[in-house]
């Protein structure tokens, strides 16, 4: 009889699920929760506000000079524009810009007479008609002169005949005086007709001269234009030979070593400028600024269109150079420079970088850096030179302020200095 073997008690059926140990189940659940917690921490860390990286500047005491900066140009103090003294044919100007001239010695150019203009057919016909008219007028005057001479002879004969009568009572005194007066009048008429004939001859010669083209005689008939001062030729306006009218500009003369600085400054800034203020001339081509002094602020302004198309009222301010170095002798007429005029100065003021200030309505404010926080502070600002500003109230020496703070910085915002560890 066969014996039936029963399976062991710990064996399971193939279709039964395997049981996971309790320890492994807890590890899996903990890993899932740890992943969720790490993800939440990353999200919180990413959304957590970080300090804004900023740059700071320090409030300190120092000297401050307020200057008005503007482009300027050099110009010769005394310039002479030479013009043609008479109308005529000007010879070619042989001088070039930069050539030296001597007073009353250097001949700038020579002006000679102009040849007679050509006549068109209509003008020639008119001139010939004028000549014919003057010839007829001369004949008329000749006939009138002959008639006057005949009347004079008759009056002279009558006067001579009366004078031969010696008997008293034959001719009254009034008749004698009348006959003498008639003879004098006839003689005067003859002389007047002779003068009329001369006038007619001159008019006829003038009318015939219109039809002629005589050669231009230059001997003793030239006008030499000489330099009135010593200096250099700055500009030649008319170089080629041409026919000029009286007063036409030919060239310009001046002394480039005697220059001044001309600046066109806004009228609101020119109000604070007065003669005697110091000027720094920069961007002239040298390493160090040139020193100058304001000589004149012109009283009248003029309108100028800026590069942006804005109408501006500007005033011409003239400056003189002081102790010009040898390198600056190369400056010529109308060279571009940069002028900086000092309009205010103090030896000891509390100043702050201008980049730390901003306007809030009509008030000046800044952010002060304290313990990693930006504190919004109201201040009272004074003079400024564009880089540094005078502080009258609100800050103290040694305070750190935020330079060009971004829009994300608010009062009590967390900030950190750039480069700080």
pLDDT digits (tens, 9 = 90+) for 223-254: 899 999 999 999 999 999 999 999 999 999 99
pLDDT beyond 60 at 167: no
pLDDT at 13 over 60: no
Q: Between residues 20 and 297, which one has the greater pLDDT?
A: 297
Assign 176 a pLDDT band (cuts: 50, 70, 90).
confident
Q: What is the pLDDT of residue 216?
A: 62
Task: Judge whether residue 290 has pLDDT over 60.
Answer: yes
pLDDT of residue 1: 45
pLDDT of residue 245: 92
Banded model confidence at residue 19, pLDDT cuts 50, 70, 90? low
Confidence of residue 61 (pLDDT cuts 50, 70, 90): very high
276 pLDDT higher than 70 = yes
pLDDT above 50 for 2: no
Q: How confident is the model at residue 71 (pLDDT cuts 50, 70, 90)?
A: very high
Q: For residues 401-408, give the mean pLDDT.
A: 89
Lowest mean pLDDT among 43-52, 54-63, 332-341: 43-52
Average pLDDT of 308-321?
A: 93
More confident residue, 353 or 39: 353
The mean pLDDT of the chain is 85
- What percent of the chain is predicted at pLDDT more than 70? 88
Identify the pLDDT of residue 20. Answer: 52
| pLDDT greater than 90 at residue 311 | yes
User: Is this prediction's pTM over 0.75?
Assistant: no
pLDDT band at 416 (very low <50, low <70, confident <90, very high): confident
Beta bridge partners of 233: 253
């Amino acid at each position: 009889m066969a014996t039936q073997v029963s399976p062991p008690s710990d064996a399971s059926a193939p279709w039964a699920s395997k049981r996971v140990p309790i320890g492994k189940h807890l590890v899996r659940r903990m890993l899932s929760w740890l992943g969720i917690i790490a993800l939440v921490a990353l999200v919180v860390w990413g959304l957590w506000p970080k300090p804004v990286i900023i740059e700071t500047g320090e409030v300190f005491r120092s000297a401050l000079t307020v200057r008005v900066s503007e482009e300027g140009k050099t110009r010769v103090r005394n310039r002479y524009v030479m013009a043609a003294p008479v109308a005529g044919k000007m010879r070619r100007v042989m001088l070039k810009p930069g050539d030296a001239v001597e007073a009353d010695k250097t001949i700038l150019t020579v002006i000679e007479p102009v040849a007679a203009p050509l006549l068109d057919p209509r003008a020639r016909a008119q001139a010939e008609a004028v000549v014919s008219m003057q010839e007829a007028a001369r004949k008329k005057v000749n006939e009138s002169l002959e008639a006057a001479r005949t009347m004079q002879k008759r009056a002279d004969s009558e006067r001579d005949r009366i004078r031969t009568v010696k008997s008293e009572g034959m001719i009254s005194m009034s008749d004698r005086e009348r006959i003498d007066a008639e003879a004098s009048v006839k003689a005067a008429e003859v002389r007047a007709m002779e003068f009329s004939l001369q006038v007619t001859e001159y008019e006829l010669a003038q009318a015939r001269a219109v039809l002629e083209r005589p050669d231009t005689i230059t001997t003793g008939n030239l006008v030499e234009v000489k330099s009135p001062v010593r200096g250099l030729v700055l500009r030649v306006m008319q170089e080629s030979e041409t026919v000029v009218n009286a007063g036409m500009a030919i060239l310009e003369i001046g002394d480039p070593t005697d220059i001044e600085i001309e600046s066109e400054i806004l009228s609101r800034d020119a109000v604070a400028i007065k003669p005697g203020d110091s000027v720094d001339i920069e961007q002239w081509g040298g390493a160090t600024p040139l020193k100058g002094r304001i000589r004149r602020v012109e009283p009248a302004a003029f309108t100028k269109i800026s590069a942006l198309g804005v109408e501006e009222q500007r005033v011409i301010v003239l400056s003189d150079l002081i102790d010009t170095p040898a390198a600056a002798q190369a400056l010529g007429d109308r060279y571009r420079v940069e002028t900086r005029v000092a309009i205010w100065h103090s030896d000891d003021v509390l100043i702050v970088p201008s980049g730390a200030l901003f306007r809030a309505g009509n008030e000046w404010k800044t952010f002060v850096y304290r313990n990693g926080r930006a504190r919004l502070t109201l201040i009272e600002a004074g003079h400024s030179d564009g880089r540094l500003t005078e502080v009258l109230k609100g800050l103290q020496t040694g305070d750190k302020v935020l330079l060009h703070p971004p829009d994300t910085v608010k009062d009590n915002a967390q900030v950190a200095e750039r480069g700080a560890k």
